Amino acid sequence: MAFADNKLVSYVRESREELKKVVWPTRRQATNHTLIVIGVSIFVAIFLGVVDYFLNDILEVIIQ
């Protein structure tokens, strides 16, 4: 069990060291990136909705 504890302690220690190396984004960068993701998501949703609408109309014409 001591071997498993050593591995766990080592993992946590190494993880903390790696997190110290991370360059975290500023609040402004995080906000900008979040807004970009939301904007792209809305655009893709609208685009797919329009494509679905037209494909549904085309399929109804083919079926009738």
Condensed to tens digits (0 to 9), the pLDDT of residues 2-56 reads 666 688 889 999 999 999 999 999 999 999 999 999 999 999 999 999 999 999 9
pLDDT score at 6: 86
Q: Which distant-in-sequence residues (6+ apart) come within 8 Å of 25 by Cβ?
A: 33
Phi, psi of 9 (to 5 degrees): -60, -45
pLDDT score at 26: 97
3-state secondary structure of 25: coil
Is residue 1 very low, low, confident or very high in pLDDT (cuts 50, 70, 90)? low
